[in-house]
A and B are shown apart, each in its own frame.
Chain A
């Protein structure tokens, strides 16, 4: 095996040579044939259910197991029936395994698409104790009791038994594979791609399209879920022109690789069509390797922006329902052909074919050519043509099969009504082909019925910008695929103004579709499977019909038809056809099959990409973050910000000790807190003042230059949106702060007001949150401390810089800064801001200069305690349902001007006499605790919702008052000062008496802030 480096840096397994003999297959691979697109010269080891096997590079797990004569690979969902492969591709409903071990264990992996690698470990799933002997197979015996929807009719008594008895049993039996429950160790990436033409599928039509567009110079992406381009050509023996199909593919892919404007992406499933030409695709970068190479992701989720898309997704063969049609060894005829031609494998040395169309006969032809004995071709058509050199049973049907863990015999009813048993280990079934319309349904487009091929084809313009070519559009022959692929590429480029013409098309197979619709064999009372994974049989459809679950959706939901991991790719059509028969309607009248993204299931890790663990969201650090790290900080997440919650000093063992110390220190001397996270919005323009007057409920137009004012911002519905302070630095220049939590919303809202409501106001806004490092310096010694920082020409005296003053200043010898005399703590306090690059230095300088005052740095907890002590509302109070009236600021809402929310705040329900008012609470018994989230009851009334009087929003322990205190909203609270009410919190088992008090616990007269 060699690895070749691709343009994008990933590596693929490539067979070094195509051996013509099976000389190295050894004795174990008894079903290995000669040839195939695998490297028979080298062998690789793998295990299945603990048993060691060998396969070859180029094998899938399924082909390698079949080569080793392993037909039994899985158990079905409901009846635990023994199952093998039905398909050779991603439509596989049966052969699901747990791949890999440990944290990389991957449930429900299709053996048909899992590429073999050395050391691959796979396990069968949903069986116990072993695949051969599965206890739950007892269900199959009782299948008559477990028909469609039986669970809707029973398990209702006694009532309590559902959760306790019935459901646990059902849940344990249900499910397929299992997760390891360990963290996925692999990485996943996301990427973006743009192109003129996205070609989905690299079979003959896709290759022809990509070549056409590539040669025309368009930006082309060609994606195929397989690891080999070529699509059906890999499983066929057709020649194209003078070449073999595979050689034509190789030459075409080589040319595409040589074109710099074409990106060929194998192992890449385009799995969803979204609006405006956006597609999702998953590239399986490392799934074919034991572990991803160093630095490589397991998979990449690509978001592809394409101007035009051509769907060349081919067709999916459909089975025929007949009794016991689910045994290991029974598969689609095309899968049987794929295994023989591409992987040089046959499931058995004697096989048979059951078909209703000419294509099924090809399998017989190809297997005979490979030396496999074909016992008979059973064709439902009385006039079936003789195509293969074997027995033809025309007008015959397979009516039953036998073989417990794998097919042994089929029973055939001949045209004359007689029955005959035929020994065979595998049966290829073809009921015709369904164009792969999956992605054309992703925007709820409905496929339309095509009588000629007895199948649904994509509806017109199902997806804007997408056209369909080749078999996906019902053009099944190779020649038609080549021709329509090229023609559709020309048309798509034409839409984009790129003129080109079709490529010279080589000669290719051009057989017509000869089919006589045939869906299920009518015979006896046995079960004939439609949806093999979910164990939905023809009987279930009949029962659904009998019980009037007849619409396609009822059928699907009642029987679970098509709801398995394959989304019914091979089963929906059969169910629909049988329902049509039962209702006497045509198939298109009965309904259509539609599909939803993704085309094939996608790992959650892939969707998640790198947004995991600590990388789930970006981290915003404050300017003092480094200093905080060096000084014992505990951090807390505030949105994406990390803020300091408190600083632990040596000897402090409980967070309360740290917080209490910080609070006491601030109130006694001085403390510093990083408040950079507050939203900052710079507002400039000749209309800045009237603009603020509009967005704030209270008046702002007359705010003096050099002054700061508290502002309350309402939503249009009259509820408080946010609050903060806004400083007027000059006539036409204001600086606003918002709460940390609402910074983004407030900015957006203000831009809405500016652009959508008052487009001619001369005002400009810019968010400067991250541009300025801002620190609160609070406490009686804050002035003294700042005097050591602020350059001496600026007067900080109470007269020179009074409460609510603001000024542009310089600090530390000329560094520009802004100073605001505002206070959240209730102490003499300032907020000082410098350009963020100086934030770290300033913080260190303040801490150094403050040593003589025993300055402390304090975190959000101490900040919170002090604002509660001071009775300031914050996020817990501004919960989106609170009005100015509730906050005790009703009179602030100016009625003399038009501001957002002022009109609506006049509504009756927002002005009730017993409206909630913000008040403070203190426990009557000082040992009791006030709990945020507790509800308030008038003493003596029942404790229930009907008597609810309000709730506590914020609570803390106040080291100043030596008591637990709280803020909250109480009905008519402003008039209930001194009343004792019950604070109940049943969810924390609390019921205490609290006194209603003024929310300003500390310095209600505001002496300190003005000191």
Chain B
């Protein structure tokens, strides 16, 4: 596979390490009343029903960026690659 890195251009997927669902960005609030329940869902439950999947890849043998890759799990077609930090900010994460 080839991942089109937003900063570095097309790179062989072999340079990257896969983590999992981009939903891991949405880490719950530790002080929420049902924090334990939220964390359980966050840590363990997935919606991997095939098709378009937003997922985290780490450019381990590259610039060490975490990327959010939108990839179809039936065809492996990649339709979007974003910097994970940009995605995280857009989803309200800060400090």
What chain B residues lie within 8 Å of A748 (beta carbons)?
A: 17, 58, 60
A756 at the interface (CB under 8 A from B): yes
Chain B: CB-nearest residue to A895: B30
Residues of A contacting B: mostly: mixed
| A interface residues, tally (CB under 8 Å) | 29
Q: Which of A274, A275, A687, A903 contacts B39 (CB 8 A)?
A: A903
What chain A residues lie within 8 Å of B1 (beta carbons)?
A: 274-276, 278
B76 touches A275 (CB 8 A): yes
The distance from the CB of A686 to the nearest CB of chain B, in whole angstroms, is 11
A-B contact pairs, 26 of them (CB 8 A): A274-B1, A276-B78, A278-B1, A278-B12, A443-B75, A464-B75, A464-B77, A690-B95, A748-B17, A748-B60, A751-B58, A751-B66, A752-B58, A755-B83, A756-B25, A756-B84, A756-B85, A757-B25, A758-B94, A759-B86, A759-B94, A761-B95, A898-B31, A903-B35, A903-B39, A904-B36
**Residue-by-residue, is A896-908 near B (CB-CB < 8 Å gives 1, otherwise 0)?**
0010001110110
Contact (A903, B30) CB under 8 Å given A758-B95, A761-B95: yes
B47 at the interface (CB under 8 A from A): no
The distance from the CB of A240 to the nearest CB of chain B, in whole angstroms, is 38
Q: Complex: how many Å from CA A904 to CA B76?
A: 33
B contacts, CB < 8 Å to A: 1-2, 12, 17, 19, 24-25, 27-28, 30-31, 35-36, 39-40, 42-43, 56, 58, 60, 64-66, 75-78, 83-89, 93-95
B43 touches A717 (CB 8 A): yes
**Residue-by-residue, is A302-314 near B (CB-CB < 8 Å gives 1, otherwise 0)?**
0001000000000
What chain B residues lie within 8 Å of A752 (beta carbons)?
A: 19, 24, 56, 58, 66
What chain A residues lie within 8 Å of B83 (beta carbons)?
A: 755
Q: Complex: how many Å from CA A474 to CA B69?
A: 38
What chain B residues lie within 8 Å of A755 (beta carbons)?
A: 65-66, 83-85, 88
Which residues, 897 to 933 on A, are CB-close (under 8 Å) to B?
898, 902-904, 906-907
What chain A residues lie within 8 Å of B58 (beta carbons)?
A: 748, 751-752
B40 touches A276 (CB 8 A): no
The distance from the CB of A725 to the nearest CB of chain B, in whole angstroms, is 23
A756 touches B89 (CB 8 A): no
The distance from the CB of B21 to the nearest CB of chain A, in whole angstroms, is 11
B84 touches A760 (CB 8 A): no
Q: Which of B25, B40, B88, B95 contacts A904 (CB 8 A)?
A: B40
Which residues, 436 to 492 on A, are CB-close (under 8 Å) to B?
443, 464
A759 touches B88 (CB 8 A): yes
Q: Complex: how many Å from CA A759 to CA B87?
A: 9
What chain B residues lie within 8 Å of A907 (beta carbons)?
A: 36, 40
The distance from the CB of B22 to the nearest CB of chain A, in whole angstroms, is 8
Task: Give the most central of A274, A443, A752, A757: most B CB within 10 Å.
Answer: A757
What chain B residues lie within 8 Å of A717 (beta carbons)?
A: 43
A731 at the interface (CB under 8 A from B): no
Task: Give the most central of A277, A305, A759, A760: most B CB within 10 Å.
Answer: A759
What chain A residues lie within 8 Å of B40 (beta carbons)?
A: 904, 907
The distance from the CB of B71 to the nearest CB of chain A, in whole angstroms, is 10
B93 touches A758 (CB 8 A): yes
A948 at the interface (CB under 8 A from B): no
Q: Which of B76, B77, B95 contacts A687 (CB 8 A)?
A: B95
What chain B residues lie within 8 Å of A902 (beta carbons)?
A: 30
**Residue-by-residue, is A493-510 near B (CB-CB < 8 Å gives 1, otherwise 0)?**
000000000000000000
What chain A residues lie within 8 Å of B39 (beta carbons)?
A: 716, 903-904
B66 touches A276 (CB 8 A): no
Chain B: CB-nearest residue to A192: B12
What chain A residues lie within 8 Å of B88 (beta carbons)?
A: 755-757, 759
Q: Which of B28, B76, B93 contacts A759 (CB 8 A)?
A: B93
What chain B residues lie within 8 Å of A906 (beta carbons)?
A: 36
